[in-house]
Structure 1
Amino acid sequence: MTKSPDQATAILFESVGAPLQSVAATLPELHPGEVLVAISATTLCGSDLHTYHGRRETATPAILGHEIIGRIAALSEQEPARAYDGSRLKVGDRVTWSLCVHCGDCFFCQRDLPQKCEQLLKYGHQSFVLHPWCGGLASHIILRRHSSLFKIPDALTDAVACPANCATATVAAALRRVDSVIGGNVVILGAGMLGLTAAAMVKEAGARKAILIDRDQARLDRALKFGATDLVHTDQLSEPLDSTIKEMTEGRGADVVLELTGATNLVQEGLRLLRVGGQLILVGSVFPTTSAEMNPEQIVRKMISIQGVHNYAPEDLGTALKFLSAHTNSYPFAGLVEETFSLSDSTEAFAFASTGQAFRVMIKVANDE
């Protein structure tokens, strides 16, 4: 094992409303199979903001941040980790990894649900006391045994690669649950980071239409650069939304609806937008909300399929990286990271991200691209 640094710095989240605390501490020795990564950058995800503002519970104190990239600083000599594809890892490799660590052997892992592992650990969502050095707002992170690591293609800048292990991989997971989008009409509810990513991915997968629905005109306009074929502003409708969608889809409705906001009214609306035999993929409901009303007869008679997708499997991160690498010049993903802060300015980063003015805010830890 290459000698690792003795000291590291982290920004701790202790409770809602409490100031973020900067701490320096000695890094522990690596256990078998672990990897020490010097963090290059972290982008703030919507779930980070939900936790920061108390809309989502997490164990505290915690190092928030799970959209992370970095370079390997040290590898355990015992059971040295390998990349997910089986290739060797070495100090200096630029890497990302699945936000979920799974055992591979439990009931859920054996049923293609590794993100629901009975021994699950999620980076950026753990107590610093029980699982130290486990989040992105730090100089270093210790990747636990069984982590799924991926080498980042050279073509991907930090701004493009950083959100891949959450936003892009989550969209890849959602689309893996869809029967097919080839020649289909796909409605995307929400023109945020996931929505724009979904538009680009369904276009490249062969969709006939990628219809983006949102109430923010600036975000809708941005979606045109990411493959959206049609835009619908919910505050400017002259008729019910389902009528508008039917007019765009030869009177049938959408083949697939991707619900990416978590808004209860849009979950309900999503069902009405589907054609007979359509699929509703629910992705955005990752925080407590009110119950959605659904008409069982409507679901049965229209033969609708409803699928929930939470997080993703490692293969989806692989798909995400391949997609970004293949289309890095086709879509302006780098431009979605609109502000950058230093680690010491994490409080200011959260404040700016909370305004909703940027798709992503980056906290840059090291300039090592």
Structure 2
Amino acid sequence: MDPLEGRVSRTAVWTGADIEMREVPVPALCDGDVLVRVRLATVCGSDLHTVSGRRCGPVPSVLGHEGVGEIVAVGPHATSDVGERVVWSVTRVCHECDRCRSGRTAKCRSVTKVGHEPFTGPWPLSGTYSEYIVLPAGTELVPVPDLLPDVVAAPAACATATAAAVIDAAGYLEGRRVVVCGAGMLGVTAVAMCVEVGAEVAVLDVDARRTAWAERFGAVADEGGPVDVALDFSGSSEAIAALVPRLDIGGRLVLAGSVAPAAAVPVDPEAVVRGWLTISGVHNYEPRHLREAVAFLTRTVAVHPWAELVDAPVPLDVLGEVLHGGPGLRAAVAP
């Protein structure tokens, strides 16, 4: 008898207008699948954009892609163990297409994503705003050390791992002048990562409260002037346009916040050529970045006040109340 037969998951389904609580049957697990009980989920800004209409997505769907949970069942040939506490990648990839083989699994040709799939499709329990989530074969899972609290581990799957990918793209940072534009959860995390490797970090944000958070993690307020590296998490065309002229010879600009349509940014190609400038983008991340994220949080859990960045969790039933933002950098839900 299938041990999951008859089991249901209390799940918050986004209908395009509001959140509807449903009891969803837990499916039989296929080869390599893992069933996780979600212990804590944090609310990424992209979900706030979805419910506010700034970001398109399938309707209905189960939102949420940052979370930490405990494995409660595994399908045949799964390599994880029941009882493990884990975080998981946003992307589920094939590992076989040309992009995966070249090291760009983030852009797998058949990628599917946690919290981004249609509820009426083959993967209904795909989001973290749910009592249970099914993680299909091909989803990266990373065990969470005991010393890392749920509230610190949950953002690893998006904010921390994406920041790690941005730092990777930025190159060598020790002793370099870095400006971080946009001090949300990703920006503050990037500040801490840059500080750890010995960069001189300034922060730029229109919200004084967020700037203050970044300063607690090691940044100083930006005063303008040339920089070696600029990291943009704001997605603001105006802010990006102001960053490019500040890049010194050999400077790098890494864009991670531009995930929605915005005004074009003028770039002087002669300045790029004469300045040996590099402008690159990061969207999603590679499995190694999730592993690096967990390792980084483990190293710094006693150094930085990570837990203070996340609001007290609310029950799943009142998810709608925090899908419009909260006082902290991350709202949280305890399914």
TM-score with structure 1 setting the length: 0.88
Is the Cα–Cα contact under 8 Å of residues 2 and 28 in structure 2 kept in the other structure? Answer: no
- Structure 1 residue 122 corresponds to structure 2 residue 113: yes
Inter-partner Cα distance in structure 1 for 2:182 and 2:2 = 45
Residue of 231, 249, 260 corresponding to 2:221:
231
Match of 1:85 in 2: none
- The 5 A counterparts of 1:1-369 are 3-4=3-4, 6-15=7-16, 18-76=17-75, 78-80=76-78, 82=79, 89-130=80-121, 131-207=123-199, 209-228=200-219, 230-232=220-222, 244-246=223-225, 253-351=226-324, 353=325, 357-365=327-335
Contact 2:65/2:115 (8 A) holds in 1: yes
Q: Distance in 2 between matches of 1:70 and 1:306?
A: 37
Contact 1:2–1:74, Cα closer than 8 Å, also in 2: no
How far apart, in 1, do the equivalents of 2:192 and 2:176 lie?
14
**Separation of aligned partners in 2, 1:345 and 1:172:** 32
* Whole-angstrom distance in 2 between the partners of 1:147 and 1:329: 29
Amino acid at match of 1:225: R
Distance 1:28 1:270 in 2: 49
Measure the CA separation in 2 of the matches of 1:185 and 1:203: 11
Distance 2:35 2:192 in 1: 34
The structural deviation recorded for 1:295 is 1.4
Offset of 1:220 from its aligned partner? Answer: 1.3
Instruction: Provide the alpha-carbon RMSD of the alignment.
Output: 1.4
Identify unmatched segments of 5+ residues in structure 1. 83-88, 233-243, 247-252
Q: Which runs of 5+ in 2 are unaligned?
A: none
Deviation per CA, 1:283-311, whole angstroms, max 9, x where unpaired?
A: 00011212111111121121110110001
CA deviations 1:266-298 (Å, max 9, x no partner) are 111110121011000000001121211111112
How far apart, in 1, do the equivalents of 2:331 and 2:149 lie?
15
Read off the aligned partner of 1:155 and give its amino acid letter.
Answer: L
> Could you tell me how far apart the structure 2 residues matched to 1:8 and 1:193 are?
29
Q: CA deviation at 1:338?
A: 2.0
The DSSP-based 3-state class of the residue aligned with 2:124 is coil
In structure 2, distance between residues paired with 1:11 and 1:185: 44
- Of residues 277-286 and 6-15 in structure 1, the stretch that sits farther from structure 2 once superposed is 6-15
One-letter amino acid of the structure 2 residue matched with residue 281 of structure 1 = V
Letter paired with 1:270:
L
Once the two structures are TM-superposed, the CA of residue 2 in structure 1 deviates from its matched residue by 8.5
Q: How many residues align structurally?
A: 333
Q: What SS does structure 2 have at the residue aligned with 1:103? A: coil
**Aligned with 1:155: secondary structure?**
coil
Runs of 4+ in 1 over 2 A off after TM superposition: 1-5
- C-alpha distance in 1, partners of 2:172/2:166? 12
Task: State how far apart, in whole Å, the 1-side matches of 2:224 and 2:24 are.
Answer: 55
Q: Does the Cα contact within 8 Å between 1:259 and 1:281 map onto a contact in 2?
A: yes
Aligned-residue offset at 1:217: 1.4
Shift of residue 118, structure 1, vs aligned partner:
0.7
User: Could you list the per-position Cα deviations for residues 98-133 of structure 1 after superposition, in whole angstroms to 9, with x for gaps in the alignment?
Assistant: 110111110111121101001101000000111210
Structure 1 contact 2–75 (Cα < 8 Å) conserved: no
